[in-house]
Each structure stands twice: as C-alpha cells, then as structure tokens.
Structure 1
Amino acid sequence: MASPLARPAASVPSVDAVVARMRALDAALPARDGVAVFNRVYLTVTEEVGRRLDAGGFPDPRAAGTLDVRFAQRYLAAVDAAGEDRRPPACWRPLFQLRRHPGVRPLQFALAGVNAHIGHDLALAVIDTCRTLGCEPAELEDEFDRVGELLVALEERVREELMPGPDLLQIADPLTHLLGSWSLERARDAAWAAARALWALRYCAGIAEEFTERLDAAVGFAGRMLLTPLPG
C-alpha cells in the first residue's frame, strides 16, 4: 500500500467529477449497506460545496475546490481499495468490515464514516492541498473553516435523517451513549492540529510516517467502537 503521505497527483479532478463518482456509488450500492449510508450524506455535502463554489461562496475558490477534492479522494481511494481486495487505511476498515452487519444501525454507519473521514483523512487532505498549490496550512485556514462549517451541517443532516424518533431513543438506549462519545467539533479541531504537525514534520519522513500510522490506528479504534452492534 502506498504511503498515506505520498505526494498526490498533480492534476486535480473537478468537484463535479467527484460528485459524479459518489452518485454512481449511490446507484450501485444497496441502500442498507453501511458505506452507502455514509456515501449518501457525504454526497449531499459535496454537492453543496459545488453550489457554493459556483455562487462565489469561498474567498479562494481554487483553494477551496482543491481541498474539497483532495479530501474526497481519500474516501474514494478507500472505497477502491476495499473493492479491489486491498487493505484500506485502518480508520476505514471497521466500516468496510461491518457494512452489512444487521446489528449496526444506519446512524452508526454514518458517524463511523464521518469519524474516519474527518479524524484521519482531513488532516492528510490539507497536506495534499498544500503540496498541490505550493502553499502552507495557514494559507488554507479560511477555506478549512468554511468547509468545516459544511461538515457541521453534515453531522446535523446525519442526525436529522437517521436519528430514531424521540419515542425510540431513550436514555437507556446504548445508541444514546455512543452518540455522546464522539464530537465532530473536537474531531475537526484535532484534524487541523494534526495537519499543522504533519506539515512541521514534512522533512522528517520517518517521524511523520509514524505519526500518521498512529493517527490512523487511533481513528480506526474509535470507528470500531462507534460500530458496536446494538440490540434492536
């Protein structure tokens, strides 16, 4: 498997191309498949990024578009790896391994995907974008924050669409405790800190590689907890 810190390809697909790929996945996967559940909510946010780019909603459209695409490419690479019987990053493995488990609820699948994508992929996507554009993370902070606002909307959408009704989600429900154990805001803040650390370590390949592997493993462990099968 290629190093997660390998320099990305110079060419950057458009946001529209990424959206088209996600739509194709949505059409191909069974609705209850755990990857399909995450893909649907992520597709919605990526479509919104495209609309805002077209409407001039980012101060630096090139930087925002590049960050969005590099971010999405990390998820799509994991999908490709799983589809080709290669090992995806550790952060994604729980979702691919448990994607058809009848004891895992749709909300868990969605949050596990968000956990993997933000907890691990976002920091590496910032580094990918800096290398593509020849800039430093500080120059992407505005775009990172604006994309982050859309990610908050992603979490809200997940909860609105997939949260059981109030009559079903009681305080004793194990899902209640799982929901309280993970925060998108904390994950986003940690991703920015990790991106800055990786950038500072960019000339220390061995240390950067170890840092990335540990980040991947830690996020994977959190994802496995989020996917704990629950009683119906």
Structure 2
Amino acid sequence: MAQTEQFAVRPQCAPAAVDPVVERMLAFGTAWPASDGVAVFNRVYLAVTEEIVRHVDAGRFPDRRAAVTLDVLFARRYLTAVDAATEGLRPPACWRPLFQYRRHPGVRPLQFALAGINAHIGHDLALAVVDTCHALGCEPADLEGEFDRVGDILVLLEERIREDLMPGPDLLEIADPLTHLVGAWSLERARDGAWSAARLLWGLRELPDLAGEFTERLDAGVGLVGRCLLTPWR
C-alpha cells in the first residue's frame, strides 16, 4: 500500500537547517499565480515556517536540534506532496482535494488555506513526529515540549489567517454557510489528534501492517475533511 510505504520511510539523520525548505517555498511563491489555491496555502505555511525560525533563533525552543528536525521533516511531507502532484503522480489522499480544486473560482482563499492546514496538521504532523523520533533516536514524549511550542505558534497564526482571509462582515454574515463551515474546523483539535496519532503510530512501529492500515485510514479521513472545507460557493 502506498501509505504503508510512506510510513516506512525513516530518516537516517537529523536535518541540519530549515533554509532549503524556506527557499523551496519562496520559489513556489514566484512560480504560481497568487490566486492558485496551493499558492494561498504556501504563503501561509511560509509565514509559519519563518515564525518558527525566529523562535528557534531567539532560543525559545530548549532543544534546538529537535525543533529544527521536527520542522524540516514536517515540511518535507508537504514538499513531497507538491512534487508528486507536479510529476503527475498521486499525492497522499489528504492533499488531493487541494490540488484538485486549486483553480476552482468558487472556492475562497480562506478555504484553500484551511484545507492545506488540515492536510498538513491532520495527517503529516503525526508522521513527522514519528520521522523525528527515528532520526533522533528518541520517543514522542521527548518531543512534547517542541510539539506544543510549534502548536502554540500555529494557533496564533491561524487567528491571523482567519482575520486576513475571511471576507468582511459586509460580505459574510453569521448565517452564511462559509462562516459555519470554517467555524466547524479547529486547528487546536487537529493538533491534539495529530499528537494522539503520533503516539499510536510509535506504539505500532513493530507492527508495520497495522501501522500502515492506520496511516492509510488517517490519510483518507483527513482528505474527506479537506474536501468538505473546499466546498465551492458558486
């Protein structure tokens, strides 16, 4: 199964720096039109990554190596999905709705941003924690502090994203279906789910068939949520 193989990929060493990740996201920003749905998410994710780098450089992560490793291995899963879509291959199910609807005129920028965050947090983050444990020879509990600090940054940025991308009150009233849709999704709940999934996957590391089945179903479930978030409004 594709997802079983994806789970089985284990980094052999910790990445050295975040710079190559930032460079690739900057390159995407110049290659894609601003209205492209993946470009919308890419701008959001670039802002997140740059904020994490600032926190790392300011010494706000006690374990710098763990924070950088988690950040880079996390980002690589997004970059791998982009590469797959670019090459005409099938990215993970969690990413497919965003790539399929990226040019749909009836989907608003906030939907694109949240669909990308949903895919990356709901699926990729759990696997990135496991990747990091293999790379550093540690266990999820050893990464909890870094995981929580990254999560706190994401929650703060989510609020900013909603403010920047949500249509104004004159365009979007409280009863508008889009208001209801985006209000039903929570980054904090997605982050909690990712941590639980990471711990479960780590516990299943000696049972690859079960780990692969769980990863595949996690991927499909997150993809279904992403498809709902991208419901066109015209």
Specify if TM > 0.5.
Answer: yes
Q: Which runs of 4+ in 1 moved over 2 A?
A: 8-11
* TM-score (ref. length: structure 1): 0.97
Per the alignment, in what secondary structure is the counterpart of residue 100 of structure 2?
helix
- Looking at structure 2, the residues matched to 66 and 157 of structure 1 have their Cα atoms a distance apart, in angstroms, of 26
**Identical positions, percent:** 72
- Looking at structure 2, the residues matched to 146 and 84 of structure 1 have their Cα atoms a distance apart, in angstroms, of 34
How well do the aligned residues superpose, as a CA RMSD in angstroms? 1.1
Partner of 2:139: 136
Matched, 1:222 2:201: no
Kindly state the Cα deviation for residue 9 of structure 1 after the two structures are TM-superposed: 4.8
- Looking at structure 1, the residues matched to 134 and 88 of structure 2 have their Cα atoms a distance apart, in angstroms, of 29
Q: What does 1:54-203 align with in structure 2 at a 5 Å threshold? A: 54-203=57-206
Partner of 1:44: 47
Q: Is the 8 A contact 2:11 2:135 kept in 1?
A: yes
Equivalent pairs, count:
231
Kindly state the Cα deviation for residue 11 of structure 1 after the two structures are TM-superposed: 5.4
- Looking at structure 2, the residues matched to 134 and 226 of structure 1 have their Cα atoms a distance apart, in angstroms, of 37
Deviations 1:63-112 (A, max 9, x none): 00000001100101000000000100000000000000000000000000
Q: What does 1:6-25 align with in structure 2 at a 5 Å threshold? A: 6-10=9-13, 12-25=15-28
- Looking at structure 1, the residues matched to 136 and 29 of structure 2 have their Cα atoms a distance apart, in angstroms, of 31
- Looking at structure 2, the residues matched to 81 and 151 of structure 1 have their Cα atoms a distance apart, in angstroms, of 25
> Which runs of no fewer than 5 residues in structure 1 stay unpaired?
none
* TM-score (ref. length: structure 2): 0.96
Deviations 1:193-231 (A, max 9, x none): 000000000000000000000000000000000000013
- Looking at structure 2, the residues matched to 46 and 9 of structure 1 have their Cα atoms a distance apart, in angstroms, of 23
